[in-house]
Amino acid sequence: MTRLLPAGALDPADTTGATASDVRPGRVRGREDRSRLASIALHGTLVLATLVALFPVLWILLSSFKPANRIQTSEITLIDSPTLDNYRAVLFDTPFPTWFLNSVVVAAFTMVIGITMSATAGYALSRFNFAGKRGLMWVFLITQMFPVAILIVPIYTIMANAGLINTKASLIIAYCTVAVPFCAWMLRGYFDTIPQELDEAAALDGLGPFGTFYRVILPLARPGLAVTAFYTFLTAWGEVAYAIAFMQTRDNLTLGAGLQQFVPQFNPQWHLLTAGSVLILIPAAIVFFFAQKHLVAGLTAGGTKG
Amino acid sequence: MSTSVTFDRATRIYPGSDSPAVDALELEIAEGEFLVLVGPSGCGKSTSLRMLAGLEDVTSGRILIGDRDITHLRPKDRDIAMVFQNYALYPHMSVAENMGFALKIAGVSKSDIDARVLEAARILDLEPYLGRKPKALSGGQRQRVAMGRAIVRQPQVFCMDEPLSNLDAKLRVSTRTQIASLQRRLDITTVYVTHDQVEAMTMGDRVAVLKDGLLQQVDTPLGLYDKPKNAFVAGFIGSPAMNLGTFRVEDGQALIGEARVPLPRSTVGALTTDRVQLGFRPEALVPSSAEDAASFPVEALVIEELGSDAFLYGNLIGDDLRADHVVARVAPRSVPAKGTKVWFSIEPGRLHAFDVETGDALPTD
């Protein structure tokens, strides 16, 4: 309703059931108006939700510094004779460093290959008209509907036929099948926001389609690429199911699968698991740190008007 | 370096559409000429330009630059520079990088690029801004960078797609003259698209008027103004627009309101019905009196005083009224009051006549 009404007047044409107080100017409720009780309830809920989200991570972090025999006790302590023994044990007495390296390689390749494929596919979907474009977009959507549990067996068969079982390549390919369709969709949406005139200007300036993509569009798509990079990295970094299925020797395991080795059904070694879990967070945090630097708005500002 | 451009029955039909967006366009643009494509939105003027630039496929026909058939060449092989309506500057590059980008891709040496960018920047008053990114520039400066990017290339042809439409009115007028004089100086064949007939009239050596994908007329600005080939061109060119109305013809005289305006014999001879579409420009109306049989009364509704000019907008009074509004130029600073009845007659020789069915111009000699 854009008509100006005198204070407190009811708009005779208003049939939406609004009362006089709804249209009276000056009665907009600001945040200062919230009652004390509502404020407490609201903030209480937020604090609680934050605690629930943070607790497992915090608990693992605290536990990782406890002596091995103090982790599983009935008494609840936050800090209990802190020690670095768990970290020492994980790093020097287990294959953890090998798994870590495996994970770095797999995640890095997944990230690079995944971004390359999804960025080029997303650009093609955004800019070019080709036969089967709609079909391809449907395929990208539909493949995301199948849960990993269903896909493991067929993909295992494919990998086995290709002789790739127990290699890092099998994991990289499998992770790309998860990440690429999603990222291609996402990047397509991002490329759509970059004005098409920039492509045309680049074409007139002498660039071919790939040059346009690489020198004009990609630099402007940095925020979208950063998000997809982080997503593809995480897809590979923490994954367990494929890694357990495809990797058959202990030395070839990646981190997610490797950590599970610490907690078999009998005799779980929680001190190794907690220390390993904390260590596995660090690279993810580093990747996030670099990715978020590129999450800046307004990269395309000023290029076009209207 | 400058070359001619030829559209040889160039046609564009968009996929999924039956009617052509540009229908067999035949147009020859001479070396160094400034040609303006003008028309209402959807007339195919931008499509024609984009066909020349290589951004739009040519369904049939040919386009030539000089003797070179460029119909199916890629944009980069056509030696054309384009100024886009929204400028399309590369947001991640500085002004200097934007302007030198094409040269860099062409493999021109760094020192040559710098020299040419600096020269273009000097011409366009952009020197202080060479290190800035586009987002730190005003609209007018961005427009000049877009121009600079085109002239640095020293192309054979400039394509300009409504480059002024994002500027405010005052800047538009000054930039208009800058572009026109720059083009004269560089002597590069230019095709300029606009929907603004004032831009078309003031900038072009020749103006091509398009409507529904069909070329209506190509002529010099005054040629279009004085001798429009049909009623559409007559109504489109000129500001305020030409008065156009359909009137009954009796005994070689058109009935305009109460007036009986004698038509030239050639016009009457060319008539196929008892009706005619007449056109007369606002300045072709001269004050008259009720005694004159060829004069008609107009009820003044609105008077626009512009200082140097004044325009009267009014209703034709009469039974057989077919023109909705009449615009007349009147002497400024002594304008008739609103609501008064003013008598006008049409200056001899300044009457345009058009066929009612086809809209084609009828002879008036």
pLDDT tens, position by position, B6-57: 999 999 999 888 899 999 999 999 999 999 999 999 899 999 999 999 999 9
* Chain A residues near residue B135 by CB distance under 8 angstroms: 298, 301-303
Q: Cβ contact (<8 Å) for A198 and B76?
A: no
B20-23, long-range: CB within 8 Å, 24+ apart, which pairs?
A: B20/B44, B20/B59, B20/B213, B21/B47, B21/B213, B22/B47, B22/B48, B22/B51, B22/B213, B23/B212, B23/B213, B23/B214
For residue A101, give the 3-state DSSP assignment. Answer: helix
- The mean pLDDT value for B172-195 works out to 93
Of the ranges A7-11, A163-167, B334-338, which one carries the lowest mean pLDDT score? A7-11
Taking the C-alpha atoms of A107, A108, A112 and A113 in order, what is their torsion angle to the nearest 10 degrees?
-50
Higher pLDDT, A149 or B63: B63
Report the distance separating Cα B148 and Cα B138, nearest Å. 15
Identity of the amino acid at B86: N
- CA B359 vs CA B33, B38, B323: distances in Å: 30, 19, 15
pLDDT at A262: 87
Instruction: State the smallest CA–CA distance between residue B72 and chain A in angstroms.
Output: 14
Task: Say if residues A109 and A172 touch (Cβ distance below 8 Å).
Answer: yes
3-state secondary structure of B326: strand
Share of chain B above pLDDT 70, in %: 98
Question: What's this model's pTM, rounded to 2 decimal places?
Answer: 0.81
- Kindly list the residues from chain A whose CB atom is less than 8 angstroms away from the CB atom of residue B100: none
B89 touches chain A (CB under 8 A): yes
Chain A residue at shortest CA distance from B75: A204
Distance CA(B312)–CA(B342), nearest Å, equals: 10
Cβ B75–A208 below 8 Å, yes or no?
no
Rounded-to-integer distance, Cα A165 and Cα A160, Å: 5
Judge whether residue A8 has pLDDT over 50.
no
Contacts of B137 in chain A (CB under 8 A): 302
Distances (CA, A) of B348 to B31, B238, B285, B291: 39, 19, 10, 17
Q: Is B106 touching A (CB cutoff 8 A)?
A: yes
Q: Is A255 exposed, middle or buried (0-12, 13-18, 19+ CB in 10 A)?
A: buried
pLDDT confidence of A5, banded at 50, 70, 90?
Answer: very low
CB under 8 A, 24+ apart: contacts of B182-186 = B182/B123, B182/B147, B182/B151, B183/B34, B183/B158, B184/B34, B186/B151
pLDDT digits (tens, 9 = 90+) for A173-203: 999 998 999 999 999 999 999 999 999 999 9
For an interface test with B, give the residue of A128, A198, A205, A214 to mutate (most B CBs within 10 A): A205
Cis check: omega of the bond before B134, within 30 degrees of 0:
no
Cβ contact A183:A140 at 8 Å: no
Average pLDDT over residues A138-150: 89
Tell me, rounded to whole angstroms, the distance of Cα A143 from its chain centroid.
18
pLDDT score, position A13:
41
pLDDT digit string, tens, across residues B289-317: 888 888 888 889 899 999 999 999 988 87
In B, minimum Cα distance to A206 occurs at B76
Q: Is the pLDDT of residue A80 over 90?
A: no
Dihedral angle sign, alpha carbons of residues B181, B182, B183, B186: positive
Domains and CATH numbers, chain B: 5-232 (3.40.50.300), 242-362 (2.40.50.140)
A94-293, CATH topology level: MetI-like fold (1.10.3720)
Mean pLDDT of B218-239: 94
Q: State the nearest Cα–Cα gap between A228 and chain B, in angstroms.
A: 21
Task: Indicate whether B256 pLDDT > 90.
Answer: no
Query: A69: exposed, middle or buried (C-beta count within 10 Å: 0-12, 13-18, 19+)?
Result: exposed
Chain A CB contacts of B92 below 8 Å = 219-220, 299
If you average pLDDT over every residue of chain B, what do you get? 91
Q: What is the identity of the amino acid at B316?
A: L
Position A261 confidence tier, pLDDT thresholds 50, 70, 90: confident
Q: Which of B101, B105, B166 sits opposite A306 (nearest CB)?
A: B166
What distance in Å separates residue A101's CA from the closest CA in chain B? 36
**What letter represents residue A83's amino acid?**
T
pLDDT of residue B310: 93
Comparing B217 with A11, the larger pLDDT belongs to B217
Nearest of B156, B119, B117, B167 to residue B4 by alpha carbon: B156
CB–CB of A200 and B102 under 8 A?
Answer: no
Whether the per-residue pLDDT at B288 is higher than 80: the answer is yes
From chain B, pick out residues whose CB is under 8 angstroms from the CB of A210. none
Per domain, the residue ranges of chain A are 33-89, 94-293
Q: What is the percent of chain A where pLDDT is above 90?
A: 52
Render pLDDT for A29-47 as a digit per residue (tens, 0 to 9): 565 677 889 999 999 999 9
Pairing of strands B352-354, B361-362: antiparallel
Q: Is the pLDDT of residue A164 over 50?
A: yes
Judge whether residue B121 has pLDDT over 60: yes
Is the CB of A201 less than 8 angstroms away from the CB of B76?
Answer: no
Taking alpha carbons only, the member of B87, B199, B174, B149 closest to residue A306 is: B87
Pairing state of beta strands B34-38 and B206-211?
A: parallel
